Structure 1
């Protein structure tokens, strides 16, 4: 007989928990966890647990509507051009290059030219 274990799945967001909780730790919804029995042999077949749940089907790239979102101008015409017209709010940009080429200088100068814009600089 196959070994099974109990887990609790949130009916709102699909998060899985080892024990029953009154509130989902992921989406914070109350009383949405239901008990589910999981076959341990199923877990060892190589498919990650997150992929065994019901997931949306792939969508053809042609079926996705292209949207032009708002962008934040940085005050440097060339940098704005390279970034497609500025930064998309909430995005992350990775700047790479040889040591000493001026990456930090470029970004610090750009941050100073954008007053009123919250900037996180990670080096």
Structure 2
């Protein structure tokens, strides 16, 4: 007999979760915002589980008891950005840059990508807002300077 997939109800306003449907979010008070989401079936060894397999039952962990490995960092070629990032971008990770429109996020990231590519590293530039043409025009302007 197949297991019934586990689900959780998530508020689309604040992200709070409930094990069952409720008409009004108990955290933010919004009505009709709870949406059912399936919880992926994970193995016992998967560390991404919602509830700790160590018996913690979702309890908080003391940070001084959590192990952390030093990760290789890639310098961006922009000193202040490296400082904010704790020494550069962490290899194999994703870094989200956000902010108000027009403050220079795309320019900063394109400069970083150009600096890293100039050292022979592979760079993948992903944008959810700009067209290829917009990115190319900015790259031509930045890399020419």
TM-score, normalization: structure 2?
0.47
Large movers: runs of 4+ above 4 Å: 46-55
TM-score, normalization: structure 1?
0.54
Count residues in correspondence.
86
Secondary structure of the residue that 1:114 maps to in structure 2? helix
- Give 1 or 2 for the bigger CA radius of gyration: 1
Match of residue 107, structure 1, among 106, 109, 120: 109
Q: Aligned Cα RMSD in Å? A: 3.2
Equivalent residue, structure 1, for 2:84? 82
Between the aligned partners of 1:52 and 1:72, the Cα distance in structure 2 is 32
Equivalent residue, structure 2, for 1:26? none
Between the aligned partners of 1:52 and 1:106, the Cα distance in structure 2 is 38
In 2 relative to 1, CA 102–62 (structure 1 residues): closer, same or farther, beyond 3 Å?
same
**Which fold has the larger relative contact order, with Cα–Cα distance below 8 Å and residues 6 or more apart in sequence?**
1
Deviation at 1:51, TM superposition (A): 6.9
Runs (5+) with no aligned partner, structure 2:
8-18, 21-37, 45-51, 128-145
Deviation at 1:49, TM superposition (A): 6.0
